[in-house]
Chain A
């Protein structure tokens, strides 16, 4: 079974609008961390936001927020007020206890249109 599932291969959004990128995960580990990374065409993976499984509140970092629904095992990324520079691939990833490496989803390509 896929550990991280991103069902949206591509998304379009108008500049200045908000967009939600979906991510569901599968783990039996009670302690885990969820991450979102941005990968522009230049190739580097840029860390955006983190959510711990025991965190009571949804994580926020500037225009990024993580809609964490533990019972549904979803960790959707919300980008508010989209900018042209937000066009990139976005990856959801999970780290489980005892395995410090990240397991990544297949990514969502976001295109922001003027």
Chain B
């Protein structure tokens, strides 16, 4: 079974430019998460989707960040315009609709460097 797929793996952009990250979750996983991981820290939630609905986006900086999950499968996270402080790893994770354990499976992440 294929894991969570993310692209690109690395991205270098200049500040004020837009950038987009793509995630394809594990087949059959209805819940999708985007996390931000700063250097030396644990991941922090940006947004959670249940199918195509964003059900927890309280930590998403909505002035510059946006996300979508059309058709409840793939998801895209966008930053426009990017700032120097956005340099980090952006992790996508998915989980099945199990009510008990709900283990989240992570993709390899996208490492963003804003110059």
Contact = CB atoms under 8 A, between A and B. Distances in A.
Contact of B111 (A43, A52, A99, A106): A43
Contacts, number: 55
B108 A43 contact: yes
Given A42-B108, A44-B107, A100-B95, A105 B42 contact: yes
A55 to B, nearest CB: 10
Interface string A22-66: 000000000001010100001111110010100000000000000
Given A43-B108, A44-B108, A44-B109, A102 B45 contact: yes
Given A44-B107, A52-B100, A104 B40 contact: no
Contact of B91 (A45, A95, A100): A45
A43 B91 CA distance: 9
B102 A99 contact: no
Given A50-B101, A50-B103, A101 B45 contact: yes
B43 A106 contact: no
User: Which secondary structure dominates where chain A touches chain B?
Assistant: strand
Interface residues of B, number: 25
B65 interface: no
B56 interface: yes
A4 B86 CA distance: 24
A107 to B, nearest CB: 6
A21 interface: no
Contact of A101 (B56, B89, B100): B56
A106 B43 CA distance: 9
A24 to B, nearest CB: 14
16 contacts: A33-B101, A37-B106, A42-B108, A43-B89, A43-B108, A44-B108, A45-B91, A47-B104, A47-B105, A47-B106, A50-B103, A52-B101, A100-B31, A100-B48, A100-B56, A104-B44
Interface of A: 4, 33, 35, 37, 42-47, 50, 52, 91, 93, 95, 99-102, 104-107
